[in-house]
A and B are shown apart, each in its own frame.
Chain A
Amino acid sequence: MSLQTENPQLGASGAASTRVIAQTSSQIWIRRLTLLAPLWTLLALAIFFAIASPSFSRPNNLSNILTQVATLAIFGTGMTFVLLTGEIDLSIAAIAGLAGMVAAQVHLALELPEPIPTIAALGTATLLGLVSGIVSTRFHIPTFMTTLAMSLIAAGLNIYLSKGRTLTDIPPIAETLGSGRIGGPDGFRVIIVIAVVTLLIGYLILRYTRFGRYIYMTGANRSAARLVGVNTDLILILVLTICGFTAGLAGIVSMGRLGSAQPQGVDDFLIDTIGAVVLGGTALTGGRGGILQTVIGLLLYGTLRNGLDNMPWIDIYLKQFITGVVLLSALVVNLLFSGKRARDKT
């Protein structure tokens, strides 16, 4: 009556299932390639800049691109988690700014030794993400609103803690993470290592854990996830907490790179992060995308920004406008490539 009688069947069809897998793995590859449409956009853009600007493809410049997108990559990892559930986090830039300031003040005013400042900063950021998640799910408030409010709270705390001053005495861990190099002054940048490790952990969680699968389910069809017993509220709380943590980490790294804790966070980070993640192909509606897509989106974004910088004949006052136009076109191209056009017009 129960599982026991099923087991012989399970064993017998082991061979059948292997056959089934072999049959369709080529189809899956084709599907994957179309899903990676942004990859083609990236290649096209890179080739264009390589031809148009001699300085673009120098190794030094390529490593520059990586450094430039490293902070975004850390933000982007958490943002990918949140977007995959179909939610959004508008507080990351403000939380990052606050995290830097907390670390600097714990270091400077309380004179506590490392790693306490860093832990305090990461703890604050994680806690704020957790609060956004709990408030959103408990009271059914859209994350758009809770994280917008959280953004004001974090920015407000930052101003209060800093009293409006920029702090240039930053804790050593942040300095190492943000501007250190491994193996001497010409060595590899630590910030890139941090970004890669963060992305890798994010990738492993999304790809190989049950929690990762629940994230996709929650975003793809929330009622279906609930109907199989997934606690979707818990999933939302967790992804916002993770996003808070990565925002805190990005804040510390960014502070280390700039060499100071600023009373205003860097607001550009929010738009840049969402832009890069969505450009990579992670859907704002949830359920589709992932870290691989985010990596491509980050590289696309970095290539675009850096490539324009490397074309001296472009009016610098036009650069933002061009970035916007190329971004919009890239989004359209991605959609056309992936062959998704809605039939259902409701």
Chain B
Amino acid sequence: MNESSIIELKNISKRFLGLQALDHVDFDLREGETHALVGENGAGKSTLMKILSGVYNEYEGEYLLRGQPVHLHSPRNALDRGIGMIHQELSVMAELSVAENLFLGRQPLNRWGAVDWKRMNATAEEELAKLGFPDINVQHPLGEYPLGTQQVVEVLRVMLSGAQVLIMDEPTSALSPAEVERLISLIDTLRQTNRSIIYISHFLDEVLRVADRITVLRDGRKITTVEQQNTNVDELISLILGRELKTATISAPTKPGGSTLLDVSSLTADVFRDISLTVGQGEIVGVYGAIGAGHFDLARAIFGMYTYDSGAITVDGRRFPKNFSATYAIKHGIAYATESRRKSLLMDEAIFRNVTMPHLNRMGAMAPNLKREVEIAQPAVERVNVQPPNAMNTVGKLSGGNQQKVVIARWLAFPPKVFVMSEPTRGMDVGAKREVMNILREFRSQGYGVLVVSSEPETVLDVCDRIIVMSRGDIVAEMANENLNKDILMRLL
């Protein structure tokens, strides 16, 4: 056993419904160390993190905390033992003041049993100053501060509740470059107070800057743990992917043969800037970015569901008016599927009801009768191969892949010109993924334009003709999908 290890995991395995999420993984965290966890989506990072933080308490293997075997049964229990988690989606209370957020649930009391505001605010100021943030007004609502500051407050809150170990899940994905710098220097400060940090990130250059050691996971197995000074981005990528790096030349994008169906020019909003892209007839264009890159909101903006400040959207020669509605977008040939199926389906309703939803206004003022609706829905359901192919089934009882097919089938009754799809294959098994991809290819051969927006490199690499990479609100690259591979995409992030 390593003397200075604060946490040691031995032979951890975890299964979900026949899927081996973790397979005999060892992991150790030293005192005062920043230890990064890297790997692809589905490699087992988040499962490992949830075991570490007490969310999952059923697993095989041994969990040693300061040399003693422990069994954490809840995140609360983990925090009591000094292990705190900083979530990717911050759980701050925007309406409460900075100080209140810092002392959530354990505000200092005066002798009357009431909250001692003076002491609370003073302590909050002092602690923030210690970390190098003296200019935060602790009496202002936390929601008034930018995301980066909220993150700092969250880190401090977890520290003040006694955490010696901080687990950070993708802490920088939604931060601006300046905020990232501040977070990295905060981590340096934390290291000097001898706290240990588990750092999970997609951004490998960042990982190399903050981490002392890096553990690589692939397919639920631990591949290796490397010292930061002995590795580099290229080696990490090949460890993550499990093969030698391919060298590839990036080809300049070629203009598609057909006419332009979707033309986005200089679109700017709070989360993305100066975005220009085109989708031609019979072309599948991918927009790839890490979570927080702004690409999902870009997709919403194209459909009239996200307010943009400037720029223009033109579909098949028609320039959309500013602040156009989704109704307008649908009418002029845009179909959109969100990354959240839960948001776009009526789960308690039958499939046919979900399929006819966007088209009721083309069928007169009366709602179509059951027979008419099923007649419209059933061929669409069969065409995308929903299993079982019965339009009367309830959507909520279908698998995720079949639900996604329903979302696609919805637009087939009256086909649009451009399909905009966010995460078309998220959370599906391999077979369903392939089927959805084939549907997209079919759309291409029928002359539609397709815009695929995704955070999964496989998705865009598999099906797109052209790939645009977004990072933190900007387009950082655009290239033809020839000889491209994950290495290149991951390096561009």
A residues with a Cβ closer than 8 A to B are 1-3, 6, 9-10, 12-14, 16-18, 20-21, 23-24, 27-28, 207-214, 217, 220-221, 223-231, 287-288
B390 touches A24 (CB 8 A): yes
B371 touches A21 (CB 8 A): yes
Q: In the complex, what residue of chain A is closest to B363 when comparing beta carbons?
A: A210
B327 touches A20 (CB 8 A): no
B343 touches A21 (CB 8 A): no
In Å, the complex CA distance between A210 and B364 comes to: 8
Q: Given A13-B382, A224-B345, do A20 and B374 touch, yes or no (CB 8 Å)?
A: yes
In Å, the complex CA distance between A14 and B375 comes to: 6
A212 touches B367 (CB 8 A): yes
Which residues in window 305-329 of B have CB below 8 A to A? 305, 325-327, 329
Tell me, rounded to whole Å, the shortest Cβ–Cβ distance linking A264 to chain B. Answer: 38
In Å, the complex CA distance between A288 and B346 comes to: 11
Stretch of B35-43, B85-93, B408-416 that contacts chain A: B408-416
Q: Given A14-B375, A21-B371, A21-B392, do A3 and B414 touch, yes or no (CB 8 Å)?
A: yes
Tell me, rounded to whole Å, the shortest Cβ–Cβ distance linking B326 to chain A. Answer: 5
Interface residue B383 (Cβ < 8 Å from any Cβ of A): yes
Tell me, rounded to whole Å, the shortest Cβ–Cβ distance linking A211 to chain B. Answer: 7
B392 touches A24 (CB 8 A): yes
B345 touches A221 (CB 8 A): yes
Q: Which of B344, B366, B393, B412 contacts A6 (CB 8 A)?
A: B412
Interface string of B370-392 (1 = CB under 8 A from A): 11001110110011000000111
The 5 sampled A-B contact pairs (Cβ below 8 Å) are A6-B412, A24-B392, A27-B392, A220-B349, A229-B327
A9 touches B383 (CB 8 A): yes
Tell me, rounded to whole Å, the shortest Cβ–Cβ distance linking A341 to chain B. Answer: 14
In Å, the complex CA distance between A282 and B357 comes to: 22
Give chain A residues whose Cβ lies under 8 Å from the Cβ of B415.
1-3, 6
Give chain B residues whose Cβ lies under 8 Å from the Cβ of A10.
375-376, 379
B325 touches A231 (CB 8 A): yes
In Å, the complex CA distance between A217 and B348 comes to: 11
B379 touches A227 (CB 8 A): no
Give chain A residues whose Cβ lies under 8 Å from the Cβ of B330.
228-229
B357 touches A226 (CB 8 A): no
Give chain A residues whose Cβ lies under 8 Å from the Cβ of B361.
210, 229
Which residues in window 129-145 of B have CB below 8 A to A? none
In Å, the complex CA distance between A115 and B376 comes to: 47
In Å, the complex CA distance between A220 and B344 comes to: 11
B338 touches A227 (CB 8 A): yes
Q: Given A1-B447, A16-B378, A21-B392, do A228 and B358 touch, yes or no (CB 8 Å)?
A: yes
In Å, the complex CA distance between A268 and B345 comes to: 38
Q: Given A228-B357, A229-B327, do A220 and B371 touch, yes or no (CB 8 Å)?
A: no
Interface residue B492 (Cβ < 8 Å from any Cβ of A): no
In Å, the complex CA distance between A18 and B392 comes to: 11
B390 touches A23 (CB 8 A): yes
Interface residue B360 (Cβ < 8 Å from any Cβ of A): yes
In Å, the complex CA distance between A226 and B379 comes to: 25
In Å, the complex CA distance between A20 and B344 comes to: 24
B357 touches A217 (CB 8 A): yes
B374 touches A214 (CB 8 A): no
B349 touches A17 (CB 8 A): no
B379 touches A224 (CB 8 A): no
A20 touches B391 (CB 8 A): yes
In Å, the complex CA distance between A203 and B301 comes to: 38
Give chain A residues whose Cβ lies under 8 Å from the Cβ of B326.
226-229
In Å, the complex CA distance between A36 and B383 comes to: 35
B325 touches A229 (CB 8 A): yes
